Structure 1
Amino acid sequence: MTLLEVTGINKTFGKLTALNDAAFAVQENEFHGLIGPNGSGKSTLMKCVAGAESPTRGRVVFAGVDITRFSPAERAREGMSLKFQITNVLPALTLYDNVLLALQAKLSLVSLVFSRSRRALHDRVMNTLEQFRLADRAYLPAAALSHGQQQWLEIAMALAGEPKLLLLDEPTGGMSYEERRVTGELLRPIKAKCSLIIVEHDLDFIRDICDRLTVLDQGTVICSGTVPEIQENSRVKEVYLRRA
């Protein structure tokens, strides 16, 4: 079943056309990669899906609801979660409290004031940290983590609210080869509960975890398909050779 459908997305910045009639779809429990050379429009398209940018024209439909003009907060309430490339963890707080705050963001102010949410959410916090191999560091400040571990923590925070769709913009940027390998291992199990859109420059990484890919060049979607289909596509080969 289709979870996200993006159709006819145009995005202009003054005289610059960043996206031109871009379209793709994501199914439930699917990992979908957005790839293309630098400047092809991948991150802009991701931002239009997330609500960080408003498309000049086109539609974004999520779980049957037209969310084209929804704010990022409204999209989050519909079940969408986003992690951009720059890490946004709170370095002075413990890993535990970072995840707890992510969970508490879903609660009303009244429930936070009059309930013992920390105790009620303890098991969910620890299970989330365990899922990303961070439980043994739960009470350390986030600043004590390596760059890769901070990225894992932020992905854990993005997943804490159990979204239907997770958006990741270059999550392995700055990671070592081993950290990238582990990141793939940590992401695979979430497919049972959550779809994923990922923008990534590491083509080996994205081929290993994605079911389907959408390829952009100069703001235009040139093709979508399975990984083998994309690998054999002559136009994709031409684009990457031209930019090499």
Structure 2
Amino acid sequence: MALLEVRDLGKTFGALRALGGVDVTVRARSFHGLIGPNGSGKSTLLKAIAGAHFASEGAIAFDGADITTATPAERAKRGLSLKFQITAILPELSVYDNVLLAVQADQPLWTLLRSKSRAALHDEVLELLERFLLADLATDLAGELSHGQQQWLEIAMAMAVKPKLLLLDEPTGGMSPEERRVTGELLMPIKESCALVIVEHDLDFIKDICDHLTVLDQGQVLDDGTVAEIERSSRVQEVYTTRV
């Protein structure tokens, strides 16, 4: 069943046409990769899905509802969660408190004002920290984590709201090969409850974890299919041979 349907999506910035007639379908509990040369429109598409950019034309449906003109907050309430390429952790707070704040995002205001949620959510916070290898660092300041650990913390925060679809923009950028390997292992279990759309330049990484790939070039879909189908695509091979 389709969880996300992007149809004939276009986005312009002044005279620049960043996206032109893009179609993407993401199935529930699947991992879907967006790849392509620099400037092909991958991050712009991800931001249009999240509502960070509003589409200039076309339509976006999520979980059966039209979200084309929905605000980012409205999309988040429906189950979209986005992690940008640049981390957005709170460096002066502990690792634990960063995750706690993320978990508290959907708590009623009266609960927060009466300070009841911290104790009630303790087990949930610890479970997220353990899932993303951060339990032993719970009391450390988030700003003292390594780059890779900060990325894992932000993914944990994005998962704290229990999304139906997680959007990741180059989560392994700047990571060591070992950190990239571990990141793949950390992401795989979320497929039990959540779909993933990921923009990533590391083709080996994205091929290892994704079920389906959409290849963008100059703001349009160059090809779309399974990993095996994309690897056999002569159009994709030409672009990656001549432009990447």
Partner of 1:18: 18
Q: Which residue of 2 aligns with 1:81?
A: 81
- Which position in structure 2 is the counterpart of 1:53? 53
User: What does residue range 131-210 of structure 1 map to in structure 2 within 5 Å?
Assistant: 131-210=131-210
SS at match of 1:105: helix
Look up the SS of the partner of 1:85 in the other structure.
coil
Q: Which runs of 4+ in 1 moved over 6 A?
A: none
Partner of 1:237: 237
Which SS does the other structure have where 1:58 is aligned? strand
The equivalent residue for 2:219 is 219
Provide Cα deviations, 1:132-173, integer angstroms capped at 9, x if missing partner: 011011111111210000000000000011100000000000
1:197 positional shift: 0.2
Aligned partner of residue 7 in structure 2, secondary structure: strand
Instruction: Please state whether the residue corresponding to 2:106 is helix, strand or coil.
Output: coil
3-state SS, counterpart of residue 201 of structure 1 = coil
Superposed CA RMSD in Å reads 0.7
What whole-Å deviation, never above 9, does each CA across 1:25-55 have from its counterpart, x for those lacking one?
1001100000000000000000100000001
Offset, 1:111: 1.9
CA deviations over 1:101-137 (Å, ceiling 9, x no partner): 0011111212211351000000000000000011011
Separation (CA, whole Å) in 2 of partners of 1:102 and 1:242: 43
Partner in structure 2 of residue 35 of structure 1:
35
Letter matched to residue 169 of structure 2: D
Structure-2 separation of matches of 1:182 and 1:34: 20
Alignment gaps of 5+ in structure 1: none
Distance 1:18 1:144 in 2: 37
Partner of 1:39, secondary structure, is coil
- 2:19 maps to amino acid: L
Q: Secondary structure of the equivalent of 1:25?
A: strand
Give the TM-score normalised by structure 1: 0.99
Residue 121 of structure 1 is matched in structure 2 by 121
CA deviation digits over 1:42-81, x for unaligned, max 9?
Answer: 0000010000000100111000000001111110000000
**Amino acid paired to 2:64:** G
Report the Cα distance in structure 2 between the residues aligned to 1:50 and 1:5, rounded to whole angstroms.
Answer: 13
Identity across aligned pairs (percent)?
65
Distance 1:111 1:61 in 2: 33
Question: 1: distance between equivalents of 2:43 and 2:192?
Answer: 25
For residues 83-102 of structure 1, what are the structure 2 equivalents within 5 Å? Answer: 83-102=83-102
User: Structure 2 CA distance, aligned partners of 1:223 and 1:240?
Assistant: 12
Helix, strand or coil at the partner of 1:9: strand
- The whole-number CA distance in structure 1 between the counterparts of 2:16 and 2:104 is 40
Counterpart CA distance in 2 for 1:102 and 1:87 is 14
Gapped runs of 5+ residues in structure 2? none
